[in-house]
Amino acid sequence: MERKLLVEDHIRRNKRNTLIICMLMLLLLFAVIFSIGLVLGFPPVFSTAIGLPLSLLYIALTYSFSVQSVLAAAKARPANPNKREEKLLIYKVEEMAIAAGLPMPKVYVQESSDINAFATGKKPEDAVICVTTGALQKLNTEELEGVIAHEMSHIQNRDILLATVTVGVVGAIALISEIVLRSLFWGGGGRERRGNGNVILFIVAIIFIVLAPIFARLTYLAISRRREYLADANGAYLTRNPEGLARALEKIKADIPDDPKGSKMVAPLYIENPFKRSLRDSIWSTHPPIDERIRRLRSM
C-alpha cells in the first residue's frame, strides 16, 4: 500500500512539474517578445497582442509534437518484427506491459553500438520504448528484461510525460537559439548592408546567449536521481529479479561509449546518460552514479 501511495504522489508531482515547465516557458517567451517590442519602440499593447498568442501557439505546437520530435532527435525507427532480435524485443516489452498492467507501448530501435534505452510519450496509452541496437546485441534476455522493466516503470510513474514535454517544449527553442547564434557567427559579411536588421538580430542573439543555460538547466529538471532510483526499484518489482538490471548496468558501465548519436536535448530520457564521457564530473551529471544504482539493486 505504501508503495502505491508513493507512486500516486509521484505521478501527481510529475504532472504538476510538467505544467510548471510549460508555464515557465510561456512566460519566458512572452517576456522575450515583449521586451524586443519595447526596444524597437512598439506600444506595449501591440507587443502583448503579438507575443501572447505567439507564445501560446509555440507551447501548444511543441507540446503536441513532443513525442515525434524526441523520436526524430534520437533518429529512432520502429522495431522490425522480421528480425529475430527485434521480434524478441517486442515480445519482452509485451511481457513487461502485462506485468505492469499497462497497455502495450510502441517499440522503437535506435542504431547505435551503445547500450542504452529510453521511454517517451505523454500518457501510457501512447508510450514508446526505444532500445539501441547495441543493447540488443550485448545484453542477454534477463538483462534486457531488467532494462525494459525500468523503462516500463518510467511509463507507469508518468516520468515520461515530464521528460518528453520538457524536451519538446524547451528543446525546440534551444535548437532555434543554436541556429540563430550560428547564423550570426557565420553571417558577419552582411553587417554593413543591413544595419537595422542587424540590430534586431544582435538583440535576439544576446537574449539567446543569456537564456541558453536556463534552457539547458530546465531540461535537466526533467530528470532527477529520485526518479531513476524509483524506476530501478519498481522495475525490479516487476521482474522480481533485481539482478537482471544490476548486471545490465554493469555492462553499460564497462562498455566503451560510442560517439553520441542524436541531439543532446534527448539525453535526460535515457536509462544512462549517453554523453557520459564528455559530461563526466560536470554539474550536468544528473543521472545517479551507476555504482550506487547497482548497490541499491543488489541490496533489495
Q: CB-based contacts of 175: which residues, under 8 Å, 6+ apart?
A: 263, 265
Burial of 291 (0-12, 13-18, 19+ CB in 10 A): exposed
Using the minimum distance from each CB to another protein, give the nearer residue, 59 or 119.
119
Residues 58-97 that bind another protein (CB under 8 A): 84, 87-88, 91, 94-96
Using the minimum distance from each CB to another protein, give the nearer residue, 115 or 152.
152
Decide: is 131 part of the binding site for another protein (CB under 8 A): no
Question: Which residue type occupies 52?
Answer: L
Annotated catalytic residues are 151
Return the axis-axis angle of helices 66-73 and 159-186, rounded to nearest 10°. Answer: 60
Residues 249-278 that bind another protein (CB under 8 A): none
Decide: is 142 part of the binding site for another protein (CB under 8 A): no
Using the minimum distance from each CB to another protein, give the nearer residue, 3 or 217.
3
Residues 217-246 that bind another protein (CB under 8 A): 240
Q: Residue written as cell 522503437?
A: 108
Decide: is 46 part of the binding site for another protein (CB under 8 A): no
Smallest separation, CB 99 to another protein (Å): 4
Sequence-ordered strand ranges (E) for 116-175: 117-120, 128-132
Decide: is 101 part of the binding site for another protein (CB under 8 A): yes
Q: CB-based contacts of 12: which residues, under 8 Å, 6+ apart?
A: none
Give the integer Cα–Cα distance in Å for 167 and 159: 12
Exposure class string for 153-185: b at 16+ Cβ within 10 A, else e: bbbbbbbbbbbbbbbbbbbbbbeebeebeeebe
Using the minimum distance from each CB to another protein, give the nearer residue, 46 or 91.
91
Decide: is 11 part of the binding site for another protein (CB under 8 A): no
Decide: is 99 part of the binding site for another protein (CB under 8 A): yes
Give the integer Cα–Cα distance in Å for 129 and 151: 7
Decide: is 152 part of the binding site for another protein (CB under 8 A): no
Separation of CA 53 from chain center: 26
Smallest separation, CB 279 to another protein (Å): 36
Smallest separation, CB 76 to another protein (Å): 23
Smallest separation, CB 241 to another protein (Å): 11
Q: Which residues bind another protein (CB under 8 A)?
A: 1, 4, 84, 87-88, 91, 94-96, 98-101, 240
